[in-house]
Amino acid sequence: MHALANPARFLSFARPLTPWLGWGGAALLGASLFGGLFLSPRDYLQGETVRIMYVHVPTAWLGMGGWAALAAASASHLVWRHTLAGIAARAIAVPGAVMTALALATGAIWGRPTWGTWWEWDGRLTSMLLLFFLYCGYLALNAAERERGGEAKLSAIFGLVGAVNLPVIHFSVIWWNTLHQPPSLTTEGSAIDASIAWPLLGSTIGFTLLFAAIVLMRMRAILGQARFAARLRRAAA
Amino acid sequence: MNHWPFVIAAYVLTLGATGVLTLASLRAMRRDEGRAEALRRP
């Protein structure tokens, strides 16, 4: 972990890894979504809308997983002052916000034919909406700190504090009697049939690999900006 | 109720947004790394 905090070392593995993650994720995603759309059966209760799950579940997982990674990077930035950790947190924020927005939108699209409503102020939906606002707040705070030439300490603290919302999202369907169904995957087993589980697992891994590639691309872009500014200063001196 | 328009809307939205995000990130990476590299050359 500490060894990777060196930007040159990070770039030496990020450069070859980015296309592998990107193309691998896209291929797995394409195959899984094809299977989810055309090969897996319709659900006896939900009908064809069960196919929305193959895009909804991975985006919701990445919205939450994205913030968990952002919080871990923020902690590393605060404790060990790793510049790369701050860059990683900044690189995760936009893809994480997009995934959370997609989870909310696909959930609403699924909810209309299934629940008869686009939106309900229940625990899971409201805490996911709060997560989206947290991402927006992080982006605004981080941009303001960078504009003032700060070390983005406040946004790192914000990233850590915002992680409190993650267990609330996870346990919301257990703590409160919500419209959203309880978890289908628990430590005691899976309530999902294998014919539906394989495209779901494939699309979740595919989306995750693609998400990792996007984060690496954004980290490399930020490092490129920093190198450009440093070389410009050296050239001017 | 026909469910397919809802399924198609969800897929178009998700794949469209993910595609735009991927291409924007790739473009930014190539632009910023290219600018830094161009300045290194004499």
User: What is this model's ipTM?
Assistant: 0.94
Q: What gap in Å lies between CA A62 and CA A68, rounded to an integer?
A: 9
Task: Give A185's strand partners.
Answer: A190
E strand or H helix at B17, and its extent? helix B4-40
pLDDT of residue A211: 98
Nearest to B6 among A52, A225, A227 (CB): A52
Say whether A47 sits in a helix, a strand or coil.
strand
Paired with A43 in beta bridges are A47
Share of chain A above pLDDT 90, in %: 71
Return phi, psi of residue A190, to 5°: -115, 140
d(CA A98, CA A148): 26
Q: How far is CA A127 from the centre of its chain?
A: 15
A143-183 pLDDT, tens digit per residue, is: 999 888 877 889 999 999 999 999 999 988 888 877 777 77
Q: Are A21 and A208 in contact (CB under 8 A)?
A: no
B41 interaction partners in chain A (CB closer than 8 Å): none
Query: Alpha-carbon dihedral of residues A40, A46, A49, A54, nearest 10 degrees?
Result: -50
Q: What is the dihedral of CA A216, A217, A223, A224, to 10 degrees?
A: 160
- Phi first, then psi, for residue A188 (nearest 5°) are -85, -5
Domain range annotation of chain A: 19-181+195-236
Task: Supply the angle between the helices A194-236 and B4-40 in degrees, to the nearest 10.
Answer: 30
Contact of B33 with A220, CB cutoff 8 Å: yes
Three-class DSSP category at A42: coil
Q: Provide the 8-state DSSP code for A148.
A: T
| Helices B4-40 and A53-80, packing angle to 10 deg | 30
Whether residue B22 and residue A22 make contact (CB cut-off 8 A), yes or no, is yes
Cβ-nearest to B35 among A51, A105, A228: A228
What is the per-residue pLDDT across B2-42, written as a single tens digit (0 to 9) for each?
899 999 999 999 999 999 999 999 999 999 999 998 887 65
pLDDT exceeds 90 at position A87: yes
Please tell me if residue A124 touches chain B, with a CB cutoff of 8 Å.
Answer: no
Per-residue pLDDT, A184: 72
Q: Which of residues 84-103 of A touch B (CB under 8 A)?
A: 94-95, 98, 101-102
Residue B11's pLDDT is what?
Answer: 97
Pair A66, A92: CB distance under 8 Å: yes
With CA atoms as reference, report the closest residue to A105 among B16, B38, B4, B32: B16
Determine the 3-state secondary structure of A175 from DSSP: helix
| A201/A210 Cα distance (integer angstroms) | 14
Interhelix angle A123-147/A83-115, nearest 10 degrees: 150
| Strands in A26-182 per DSSP E | none
Verify whether the Cβ–Cβ distance A102 to B18 is below 8 Å: yes
Rounded to two decimals, what is the model's pTM? 0.93
Q: What is the pLDDT of residue A3?
A: 63
Q: Are A154 and A65 in contact (CB under 8 A)?
A: no
Compare A6 and A65 and report the one with higher pLDDT. Answer: A65
